[in-house]
Chains A and B, each alone.
Chain A
């Protein structure tokens, strides 16, 4: 079975009012007004709609999953079970007021916690990778450059 190299994002962010963050899938830039959706965009939209969210939030300084985070991850795990050829990457984020290196480590811990919970729910390890942005991607996640095209090369952030 060929694993589609589709990277969907399950971003692990610091605690902010949930209403302030639209947990949409990240894309390179706002889409043009009329466009034929590519398969990856269809997948992203379906993932966001069916899983109940792409982003889970943490209390400042903490990598512990909240009950709300677990609900979202349960939705994600269910979706991933139905889409075994789709790979996702969990990107952890540290607190913006933290110092550089602790933020890197905390972001990695948050991503690992989310991944471990997905695996606990039956998501195969090969379907989930993790990385951390530390505090390199402050603010709303809408401008991040991390989704890659089907069959494309591994996503490598261009800058940050």
Chain B
């Protein structure tokens, strides 16, 4: 899709946060109240009514996006709060101050002679009466949802300083059929559940889809040849190839933050070690040599380090190393088992699966292993994957009958929420923001 930026978003986040209590700081329970009066249109007549209808859709999408966050609380959009096109850039701040709003979103949808639409949105600090950012797009009508998600992201970033995760995708394994003969398909959807589609036909067991940073490629594990092997799918044209030639067992792939490399595990004989290879091929480079099971590697956001799990101490524990395999260092030391780590996009945390006896939970800690915090109750939670915002995690929760589902949990301590998908699901993976 084409999404031309009409104006660069301003640098605003730091200034806004510094204005005081209205900004939701980590650990601050109060959410920032934001007003989202219905977007307007410069068009008139029949076309104007059409555009206003689309503008109302965008308004409701922004409301729904921001409502699912812990940091921003929208006032329910009211169709009576109509404003004119010139007021998009000159809002009546006092009106929104009176309603308790600290921030405001305005915008418009305009028709173009070529059949496309121009969507513009603007975010304001209501108390200071100051614009915080603006974004504009020229889109085909089918991309209206994504334009709305971009507006939501603009508002979210203006308030929290973190990238929004509204225009992102979630890949996972769709599961159907009896437990002893599960049919597993790679599925992908927008993070709000829309545009759900299946990427593999279900004739072969598949596991652990992992999206490239902007969701243009997908690495996953397939049992196609009998042995589990990593395959790469081009999401633009559906083309696929094995990550490596040969018949070695490869698994646990993850892209580097710049998308240029894939780090993964390879099983040679009875030994699983971690390797890295160019995303477009080339010879793999071995990073670990322990005779234990080393697996589930995940890059730090700057690409300089890798966190992974190893049972070299006798139980599964987390380790970090430099991206070339040097300076391997254990970071977890309790009697619990730690596995499936993923480094947060902002670099501040490592999410992991915590396991004690038969109980599995999702937790986070600082990259040096301090500040461990368990986020979910379990008892059968696993496989955390970060939202682009670094403030939310998607994971798999299996119910007592053995059926897995996809859940989201926020770092703010609120309860995990089940995502609506068409069937059972496992191994969720959250992409970065789409561009």
Contact = CB atoms under 8 A, between A and B. Distances in A.
Interface of A: 61, 63, 97-102, 104-106, 108-109, 112-113, 116, 131-132, 134, 136-139, 142-145, 154-160
B228 A132 contact: yes
Task: Classify the secondary structure of A's interface with B.
Answer: loop
B316 interface: yes
A97 B340 CA distance: 13
B135 interface: no
B340 A99 contact: yes
Contacts, number: 117
A3 to B, nearest CB: 17
Interface string B175-199: 0011111111000000000000000
B339 A158 contact: no
A101 B296 CA distance: 7
Interface stretch (B35-43, B62-70, B231-239, B266-274): B266-274
A33 to B, nearest CB: 22
A139 B179 CA distance: 8
Contact of B267 (A108, A144, A154, A159): A108
Nearest to B181: A159
A135 to B, nearest CB: 10
Nearest to B273: A105
A100 B207 contact: yes
A144 B223 CA distance: 15
Contact of A154 (B226, B295, B427): B226
A131 B315 CA distance: 23
B369 interface: no
Contacts of A99: 296, 316, 339-340, 353, 355, 360, 382-383
Nearest to B208: A100
Interface in B287-310: 293, 295-296, 309
Given A100-B426, A159-B205, 14 more contacts: A97-B358, A99-B339, A99-B382, A102-B296, A105-B251, A109-B272, A132-B249, A136-B182, A136-B205, A139-B179, A154-B226, A156-B224, A157-B226, A159-B183
